[in-house]
Structure 1
Amino acid sequence: MKKRIAIIMGGYSSEYQISLKSGNVIYENLNPDKYTCYRIHIFKDKWVYVDANDAEYPINKHDFSVNVDNQMISFDCVFNAIHGTPGEDGSMQAYFELLNIPHTSCGMYQAALTFNKRDCLSVLKPYGIKTAASYYINLGDTIDEEAIINKVGLPCFVKANKAGSSFGITKVHEQPQLQKAIDVAFKEDDEIIIESYLDGMEVSVGVIIYQGETKVLPITEIVSENDFFDYEAKYLGKSQEITPARLTKDQETKVCKVAKKVYEVLKMTGFSRSEFIFKDGEPHLLEMNTVPGLTNESILPQQAAAAGISMHDLFDNAIEEALKDLP
């Protein structure tokens, strides 16, 4: 019997449009001989199943089922394609774990931890993971610009602590720009992280569980046409994404080792994509994404292709991993 797969997409954050694209790519690439797939749109005002004719059927949040033509449908597994909240911050993971429905992303704690840049970096530092110098601000705190610049220097990056796709990020070159950058970040989140500028090659490293083993995918080098790898660079073609990255053997070995260590220290499962910048020959971790983009143009599928893993196999493996511990 074919497994019924709910592909959740959308979400409550600025990333919802990217999520819809990822979800539709998953829908198009899952094997119809093995799976019956359902596109589930998750928004603040509605949770609905969207059929092939774009008709909408409300999801019963009590058990995550849907009634279609007087037939109650429940799901064997959930494929999580929601970038940002509530799919990447632990909320949906906790919900599905309470309902005992397998899902393709990491656990609730891992999702919540990695979504919070400040907390994630703090947990990893004792394990020797190198990061940029940082300064934290919460909404309502007094802004001490001198203290910030003394800690992180200029230029620096002002980031929303819990946001993705480069929303709420500004590169600040001079002190008069700092307050405006802080205001931009606070539009995305009530917590901010301000980090020192690391001048070096930026790379993105995918790590997944593939056929039961932790696998580091071929590394992608990020060359942005803009001042940094912002939204335009990521999604509007203003960057080069070179896979495999033009690294020395020593650099490749170092960053693969660190990326795998981060994945294992955090007891990750499912997809992950971590961003690093090389400074003085050493990889410094910026952040980890646990629901990375899964469109045809996205970095992790590019990396999988370079490793000889097709979209079909990548997505099929994610479901198999999610289902393997079931009785």
Structure 2
Amino acid sequence: MKKNIAIIMGGYSSEYKISLKSGNVVYETLNKEKYNAYRIHIFKDKWVFVNDLNEEFNVDKNDFSVLVNETRIAFDCVFNAIHGSPGEDGIMQGYFELLGIPQTSCSMYQAALTFNKRDLLATLKPYGIKTAESYYLNFGDAIDENAIVAKVGLPCFVKANKAGSSFGISKVYKKEKLQEAIDKSFKEDNEIIIEQFLDGVEVSVGVFSYKGETKVLPITEIVSENDFFDYKAKYEGQAQEITPARISEDYKLKTEKLAKKIYDILKMKGFSRSEFIFKNDEPYLLEVNTVPGLTKASILPKQCAAAGISLVDLFGNAIEEALKD
């Protein structure tokens, strides 16, 4: 009997458009002989099932079911394609855990931890994971520009602490421009992280549970045409994403080992995509994404293609792994 799969997409953050694209790729790709796929749009003002005629049916939040033409549909598994809140910060994970519905991403704690860059880096530091020097600000804190520059130097990156897809990020060259960048980041989040600029090769590597084993995918080298790997570089073709990366065997082995170590330290499941920059021949962790992009332009699908894993296999495996738990 075919399983009913809810593909959740949308979300509450600036990433909702990318999430809708990811969710639709999953919807179009899932093996229709094995699964009944349902597109579920999750927004602050509505949770709805959207059929192929673009008709909307409300989701009952009490049990995450949908009533369609007097037939109630319950779901065997949820495929999480929400980037940002509430799909990548632990909120949806906790909700489905309470309802006892399997879902394809990591658990509530791992999602909340990895979504908070500050807490993630602090958690991994005792394990010897190298990271850039950083300075933290909460909304309302006094801003000491001299102290910031003394800690992280110039240029530096000003980032929203809990946001993805490079929303709210600026590269700052002059102390006088810090306030403008901080204001921009605070539009995305009430916590920000200001990081030292690391000048080196940037790479991204996907790790996920594949047929019961932790699998590290081929590494992608990121060469931005812009000043850094910003939104336009990520989603509007203004970057080269080269898979496999043009790096030495030493760099390759160090990155693979570190990405797997982070996945294991955090007791992850589902997908992760970790970003690193090399400094003095060592990989420095930038961030970990637990609901990476799944669009045609996204890095993880390209890495899977290089590894000989089709999207049909990738998405089906995610569901089967979730159903095993």
TM bucket, shorter chain: over 0.9
Query: In the alignment, which residue of structure 2 is the partner of 1:40?
Result: 40
Q: 1:24-62 CA deviation, whole Å, 9 max, x = no partner?
A: 000000000000000000000000000010000000000
CA distance in 2, matches of 1:216, 1:37: 28
CA distance in 2, matches of 1:313, 1:35: 13
CA distance in 2, matches of 1:178, 1:263: 34
Letter in 2 for 1:171: K
Post-superposition offset of 1:296: 1.2
Are 2:23 and 1:5 aligned? no
Query: In the alignment, which residue of structure 1 is the partner of 2:19?
Result: 19
Post-superposition offset of 1:268: 0.3
Post-superposition offset of 1:271: 0.5
CA distance in 1, matches of 2:259, 2:130: 11
The residue correspondences of 1:156-175 to structure 2 (distance < 5 A) are 156-175=156-175
Letter in 1 for 2:37: C
Post-superposition offset of 1:169: 0.3
Are 2:211 and 1:221 aligned? no
Post-superposition offset of 1:184: 0.3
Post-superposition offset of 1:324: 1.1
CA RMSD in angstroms comes to: 0.4
The residue correspondences of 1:5-154 to structure 2 (distance < 5 A) are 5-154=5-154
Post-superposition offset of 1:315: 0.3
Query: In the alignment, which residue of structure 2 is the partner of 1:230?
Result: 230
Moved over 3 A (4+): none
Are 2:289 and 1:283 aligned? no
CA distance in 1, matches of 2:261, 2:156: 27
The residue correspondences of 1:296-307 to structure 2 (distance < 5 A) are 296-307=296-307
Q: 1:161-204 CA deviation, whole Å, 9 max, x = no partner?
A: 00000000000011111000000000000000000000000000
Query: In the alignment, which residue of structure 2 is the partner of 1:244?
Result: 244
Secondary structure at 1:272 match in 2: strand
Post-superposition offset of 1:300: 0.2
CA distance in 2, matches of 1:129, 1:256: 13
CA distance in 2, matches of 1:256, 1:53: 44
Post-superposition offset of 1:297: 1.3
CA distance in 1, matches of 2:263, 2:121: 13
Query: In the alignment, which residue of structure 1 is the partner of 2:267?
Result: 267
Letter in 1 for 2:33: D
CA distance in 2, matches of 1:311, 1:298: 12
Of all paired residues, the percent bearing the same amino acid is 74
Unaligned runs of 5+ in 1: none
CA distance in 1, matches of 2:175, 2:289: 30
Post-superposition offset of 1:275: 0.4
CA distance in 2, matches of 1:309, 1:155: 39
Post-superposition offset of 1:233: 0.1
CA distance in 1, matches of 2:56, 2:262: 40
CA distance in 1, matches of 2:127, 2:271: 22
Letter in 1 for 2:89: D
CA distance in 2, matches of 1:88, 1:173: 31
Letter in 2 for 1:217: L
Post-superposition offset of 1:74: 0.4
Letter in 2 for 1:293: G
Query: In the alignment, which residue of structure 2 is the partner of 1:200?
Result: 200
Unaligned runs of 5+ in 2: none
Letter in 2 for 1:278: F
Using the size of structure 2 for normalisation, the TM-score is 1.00
CA distance in 2, matches of 1:297, 1:166: 16
CA distance in 1, matches of 2:93, 2:117: 18
CA distance in 2, matches of 1:324, 1:143: 49
CA distance in 1, matches of 2:77, 2:286: 31
CA distance in 1, matches of 2:147, 2:175: 11
